[in-house]
Amino acid sequence: MYIIVVGGGNIGRPLIDIATSSGNEVVVIEKESVKAEAIAGAFDCLVLNDDATTKDTLLDAGARRADAIISTTDQDATNVMISLLAKELEIPDVVSVVHNPEHMSLFEQIGVNTMENPQRLIAEYLYYAVKRPSIVDYMRVGEEAEVFEIRVAESAPVAGKRLDEAADHGLLPDDTLVVAVERSEADGPITPRGNTEIREGDLLTVYSGRGATPDVTDLFGHYEDHAGASRGSRRANDS
């Protein structure tokens, strides 16, 4: 792919690293000369020390043949201007970071694929790592739903039961789905079926329409004070 990356800061630099390492043809536009020089010396890409909010700069960067442009500056107004120009130049895939959630609808009206403020996403991730230590990894889907990974504890109500049995016993709500199972003795992820047995130690990928709330994580043997205290495993006969 031919990718134009705008901005070589905390977001842009690792993006450039990933894009170039993956074998893409990358052109970087960076307004600050010090950052532009550093990127040119560190990565196998063309770097333009220029202002990406002008059409001529985007044309110099190869906008006419670009497959995608990703704007990563720390100013939403700048990212909007770049996105508008990219749309005018008919770059097929326009992606931008959005720092203020109130501006998200503006980018959507333009038809830009957006990424919410990464700093906030990192902060949320760190916060939930403390608040919900049983969750190995998670991703927000919409306002409430989440996809998360969780390991099945010995005390889990679902441990030793097939998925269809767990559903029949009301242990798995209708809005909660086990979408993958990782097991130490298996060669790779197991695609769960109704007759798939959930075992202690399994690492499950779970979709929950209500998110990884305490009543959901309780099903997998990770209990917490539902008022928000720390979480840990307990045996079923301790409840």
* The domain made up of 2-115 is a member of CATH 3.40.47.10: no
Task: Give the residue from 118, 126, 182, 173 showing the smallest Cα distance to 149.
Answer: 182
Neighbour-count burial of 162, counting CB atoms closer than 10 A to its CB (0-12 exposed, 13-18 middle, 19+ buried):
middle
pLDDT category of residue 22 using cuts at 50, 70 and 90 = very high
Chain segment 41-84, per-residue pLDDT in tens: 999 999 999 999 999 999 999 999 999 999 999 999 999 999 99
Predicted TM-score (pTM) of the model is 0.63
What CA–CA distance (Å, rounded) separates 8 from 14?
9
What residue spans in the chain does CATH classification 3.40.50.720 cover? 2-115
Specify the 3-state DSSP secondary structure of 150: strand
Q: How many CB atoms lie within 10 A of CB 22?
A: 10
What residue spans in the chain does CATH classification 3.30.70.1450 cover? 121-238
Q: How many CB atoms lie within 10 A of CB 44?
A: 11
Report the top-level CATH class of 121-238: alpha beta
What CA–CA distance (Å, rounded) separates 72 from 117?
10
Instruction: Indicate the pairing of strand 203-208 with strand 176-182.
Output: antiparallel
What CA–CA distance (Å, rounded) separates 191 from 205?
10
The pLDDT assigned to 125 comes to: 66
Chain segment 4-14, per-residue pLDDT in tens: 999 999 889 99
Chain segment 165-192, per-residue pLDDT in tens: 898 888 888 889 898 999 887 777 888 9
